[in-house]
Chains A and B, each alone.
Chain A
Amino acid sequence: MNSIEVNNLTKKFGSFTAVDNVSFNVKKGEIFGFLGANGAGKSTTIRMLCAILMPSSGDALVGGYSIVKEPDLVKRNIGYMSQRFSLYNDLTVEENINFFGGVYGLEGDELNERKKWVLKTANLEKQERTLTGALPGGIKQRLALGTAVIHKPEIVFLDEPTSGVDPISRRRFWDLIHELASEGTTVLVTTHYLEEAEYCGNIILINAGRLIAEGDPKELKTNYLKNTILEIECSKVVAAMEILEKEDFVDETSIFGNQIHIIVNDKFRNKDQVKNILSSNSIDVVRIDKIVPTLEDVFIHLLEKK
């Protein structure tokens, strides 16, 4: 069953097309990764799916409601959290929870029960009276997610929820996302961090407003990048990359720290071919391995092809 069905969604701002005929489906209870560079159209798409921006053409069903015809019903059934921590810093933890509870029409026992849940989720039990502005980033972010789903929405949109947060908090935040999904909440998340994309069930990649790849992480790695990838560890990586770029068996090169990844074509014979070229240019080769591509390899490949 699909929680979100996006059909030919398009948004134009004057002559600029921010989102160009995008279609995809999100299954109920899955964690769906939405990737793309800044300005690729991610936020515009999310804003349309949250029914705060009307599409120029196309439609989407979010939780079964049309974003064009029933925006109010869409809003009632979704949760939304952005990287900007949309909590009131000048309210206490409890006041923030009460406010968002009130906005979603919660009261009495229901509100108290959800308040307890949010406090527990954010590790803020007995800190109800702390001013939200005084909380550390990681905690604030968990509180933001908690309040975003205070009304138990079917679908929650997370717009770059982990940007600017330390790795440990990020990891714990993802545990929370998994917890939500395991309880049946559909999570659509945008992120810059490609290792986070690996946690997602399905992923789409958009570039310049167009959808350029979709599938689960495994499919993406095999379907979109069929060529062999070599990982080379050597001295003088930049010089090595410049040399390899000129070889006709090499399609693409990219640097990953002190390693080079090269995508080779059918003119490639064996590893020695590479080793000899580098050695003859007095570059010491530590190792050359054939590897399974990372998502980063796939995305760089896809984006450079464009």
Chain B
Amino acid sequence: MFSFICLKKNKMFKRIFAISKKEVRQLKRDTRMLYVLFVFPFVLLILFGYAINFDVHHIRMAVYDLDKTKDTRDFINRLTSSSYFDLYGYLNSERRIREVLDQGEVQLVLVFPEDFSRNIYSGKEAKVQILVEGIDANTASVIANYMNAAAATFTLKITQEELAVRGREGYIPINLEPRFWFNPDLNSTRYLIPGLISMILIMTAVISIALSIVREKERGTIEQINVSPLSSLELLIGKTLPYSVIALVIASIILIAGYILFGVTIKGSVLLLFISTLIFLFACLNMGILISSISDSQQIAFQVSALVSLLPSFLLSGFVFPIESMPVVIQILTNITPVKFYIIILRDILLKGVGLESFWMQIIYLIIFSALFLFLSTLINKKNKTV
């Protein structure tokens, strides 16, 4: 009896292996798919890693200085010594302010009135005017924030100097010392990498498995499979195996590239990372299988896969736009993508280095996802079979 079961199992593995082997051979000849799998992820990585950067650096700044004292120079030096502001030059007339802003030569103009220095030392309020080009609202508000911070430290310094001159020791009522944990220099690439990995993984997994199944339907080869002793489960396992391995390889390559290019390291457990990635991949593959069961041609399967995997994982997953700042209805809607949960897991493992205790909920969500997709696709497949 036991040996009979063994024999049965042995045959089952052989059939699954035959399918996997066939998939790899077909993939080797499918140049288009190879590009999608191995080149596309790097294009995305480079694109997102370098081009899409939410940090504001090297703001071009012009100065219209009517005071021309040590204090204004000091103020300007403080700004330009950071990498945030570059001094474009001094303007010599009020008319030029409009010109340089209009023509986009600078993003920011600082205006010091004649009485800037005098006011400081006579105990009056000294004013600085900043003119910001406000078309890019995001950048404009970042500039305004930087300026506020710069003005505040400058004020503090002056106050302390004044107090010292009057023989009293300066003290600071509230000393705010911000420390940004997990991403100390607030580098947005570090924040984007987990999302990028998730997006690339879901795309490759969903598209590859959906296309691979629909191709059999489209070419009629599925008929030959159906009449063979292969069960649909064996077929699905045989097909998902090679693509899971490929997706894992891609994930590793992205991680390595992320380390080399952007200095992203794995702070947490590599084993946990591997297991949660497998669970996430399983959810994605089930999603692909579901798509394959509702589409009849490769073209439709590709479009649906791309739409379903790309858009929500870009817009709704918290990859780029924080979920907390979305309207409540949209926040509920964000649950349709497994990427949302995987990103949280990845950020936890990669950036924070924390363990299962902080993301077990997300793991459960992913498992529920897989089960739901698997259930739906078997339901649809069953219906298709009887018709």
Do A and B pair up? The answer is yes
Q: In this assembly, does B182 line the interface, its C-beta being within 8 Å of a C-beta of chain A?
A: no
Q: A80-B227, A102-B17, A103-B229 are in contact. Are A88 and B221 (CB under 8 A)?
A: yes
Q: In this assembly, does B223 line the interface, its C-beta being within 8 Å of a C-beta of chain A?
A: yes
Find residues 208-261 in chain B having any chain A CB closer than 8 Å to their own CB.
219-221, 223-231
A residues in contact with B385, CB < 8 Å: 52-53
CA gap between A13 and B22 in the complex, in Å: 35
Interface residue from B22, B227, B230 paired with A95 (Cβ < 8 Å): B22
Interface residue from A84, A90, A103 paired with B15 (Cβ < 8 Å): A103
A residues in contact with B220, CB < 8 Å: 82, 84-86
Q: In this assembly, does B60 line the interface, its C-beta being within 8 Å of a C-beta of chain A?
A: no
Hey, what's the 0/1 contact readout for B373-387 against A, CB within 8 Å counting as 1? 000000000000111
Residues of B contacting A: mostly: helix
CA gap between A76 and B386 in the complex, in Å: 21
Q: Is the beta-carbon distance between A75 and B219 smaller than 8 angstroms? A: no
Q: In this assembly, does B352 line the interface, its C-beta being within 8 Å of a C-beta of chain A?
A: no
Q: In this assembly, does A125 line the interface, its C-beta being within 8 Å of a C-beta of chain B?
A: no
Q: Is the beta-carbon distance between B11 and A105 smaller than 8 angstroms? A: yes
Min CB–CB distance A84 → chain B (angstroms): 4
Q: A84-B223, A86-B224 are in contact. Are A105 and B26 (CB under 8 A)?
A: no
B residues in contact with A91, CB < 8 Å: 22, 25-26
Q: Is the beta-carbon distance between A95 and B25 smaller than 8 angstroms? A: yes
CA gap between A103 and B235 in the complex, in Å: 10
Tell me the count of chain A residues lying within 8 A, CB to CB, of chain B. Answer: 32
Q: In this assembly, does A78 line the interface, its C-beta being within 8 Å of a C-beta of chain B?
A: yes
Q: Is the beta-carbon distance between B26 and A90 smaller than 8 angstroms? A: yes
Q: Is the beta-carbon distance between A102 and B14 smaller than 8 angstroms? A: yes
Find residues 1-48 in chain B having any chain A CB closer than 8 Å to their own CB.
11, 14-15, 17-19, 21-22, 25-26, 29-30
Interface residue from B14, B22, B226 paired with A52 (Cβ < 8 Å): B226
Chain A: which residue is nearest B226 at the CB level? Answer: A52
Q: Is the beta-carbon distance between A104 and B25 smaller than 8 angstroms? A: no
CA gap between A121 and B355 in the complex, in Å: 61
Q: Is the beta-carbon distance between A107 and B14 smaller than 8 angstroms? A: yes
CA gap between A174 and B171 in the complex, in Å: 104
A residues in contact with B30, CB < 8 Å: 90
Chain A: which residue is nearest B230 at the CB level? Answer: A103
Min CB–CB distance B230 → chain A (angstroms): 6
The interface of chain B, by Cβ under 8 A from chain A, is: 11, 14-15, 17-19, 21-22, 25-26, 29-30, 219-221, 223-231, 385-387
The interface of chain A, by Cβ under 8 A from chain B, is: 13, 50-54, 72, 75-76, 78, 80, 82, 84-91, 95, 98-105, 107, 148, 157
25 contacts across the A-B interface (CB closer than 8 A): A50-B227, A51-B227, A52-B227, A53-B386, A72-B229, A72-B231, A75-B227, A75-B229, A78-B227, A80-B224, A82-B220, A82-B224, A86-B220, A86-B223, A87-B221, A87-B224, A88-B219, A88-B221, A95-B22, A99-B21, A102-B15, A102-B21, A103-B19, A105-B14, A105-B229
